[in-house]
């Protein structure tokens, strides 16, 4: 099992560590590695798009052509998880702020996304979510987006304040929060199971 964490910007190392710990907990041999090279992404079994600043990440992944490889991999059925900014990039539909910033979405998931739905940096918070298939999970929200609505075939996994904060569509997992910033690896384990 090879999991590529897209190293454009953001919580890259945290995802590498959480994925390694999840594999260890599951007794799975494999590696989690940071990369921005499309050749390495092509050789992976699963891909994580981390949080950070979505406009910056979008520019970097398109400039390096890794965006095309992520789209290709997702369409071939490889598991792809996007957290926070990564969740924004997975979306087919963005709000006015997404359009205003010129953020180029990957257009993979039939979700409508709003940037900074819970406020700016100073409004960041932690809260307990009840996530379908996981149970209670302490989630970290930092300038978090929200999923406003989903299309057919998208499974809503968790909500908060009338917003969708976790959703799955086949091999794609969108989380508006940061599971990598906790010691709880259950969401990374769930994602790895999606890739097996």
Q: What is the pLDDT of residues 94-123, one digit of tens each?
A: 999 999 999 999 999 999 999 999 987 677
What does the alpha-carbon distance between residue 49 and residue 60 come to, in Å, rounded to a whole number? Answer: 12
Active site residue 180: yes
Catalytic residue among 14, 84, 87, 188: 84
Torsion, Cα 158 119 142 38, to 10 degrees, reads 90
pLDDT in the model for residue 123: 78
Q: Is the dihedral of CA 84, 115, 74, 158 positive or negative?
A: positive
Which residues partner with 172 through β-bridges?
80, 169
Candidates 47, 34, 44; CA nearest to 8 is 34
**Rg of the chain's alpha carbons, rounded to an integer?**
15
All domains in the chain, ordered by first residue? 2-195 (3.40.50.880)
Catalytic residue among 14, 15, 87, 180: 180
Q: Is the dihedral of CA 125, 127, 131, 134 positive or negative?
A: positive
Interacting residues of 183 by C-beta distance below 8 A, sequence separation 6+: none
pLDDT in the model for residue 37: 96
- Spatial contact of 36 and 3, defined as CB atoms under 8 Å apart: no
Please provide residue 139's backbone torsions phi and psi, each rounded to the nearest 5 degrees: -105, 140
Q: Is the dihedral of CA 15, 2, 136, 158 positive or negative?
A: positive
Ranges in the chain, pLDDT < 50: none
pLDDT in the model for residue 112: 98
pLDDT tens track for 67-83: 999 999 999 999 999 99
- Spatial contact of 131 and 173, defined as CB atoms under 8 Å apart: no
Query: Encoding tokens for residue 44?
Result: 């992976």
Catalytic residue among 69, 87, 178, 189: 178
27, burial (CB in 10 Å: exposed 0-12, middle 13-18, buried 19+): exposed
pLDDT in the model for residue 120: 75
């Amino acid at each position: 099992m090879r999991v590529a964490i897209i190293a454009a910007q953001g919580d890259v190392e945290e995802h590498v560590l959480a994925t390694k710990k999840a594999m260890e907990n599951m007794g799975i041999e494999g590696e989690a590695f940071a990369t921005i090279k499309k050749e390495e992404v092509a050789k992976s079994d699963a891909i994580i798009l981390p949080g950070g600043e979505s406009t910056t990440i979008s520019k970097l992944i398109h400039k390096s052509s890794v965006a095309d490889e992520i789209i290709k991999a997702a369409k071939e059925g490889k598991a792809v998880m996007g957290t926070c900014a990564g969740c924004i990039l997975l979306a087919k539909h963005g709000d006015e702020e997404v359009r205003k910033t010129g953020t180029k979405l990957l257009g993979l998931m039939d979700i409508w996304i709003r940037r900074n739905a819970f406020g700016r940096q100073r409004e960041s918070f932690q809260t307990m979510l009840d996530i379908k298939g996981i149970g209670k999970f302490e989630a970290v929200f930092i300038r978090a987006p929200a999923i406003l609505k989903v299309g057919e075939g998208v499974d809503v996994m968790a909500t908060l304040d009338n917003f969708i904060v976790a959703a799955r569509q086949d091999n794609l997992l969108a989380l508006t929060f940061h599971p990598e910033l906790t010691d709880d690896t259950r969401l990374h384990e769930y994602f790895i199971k999606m890739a097996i």
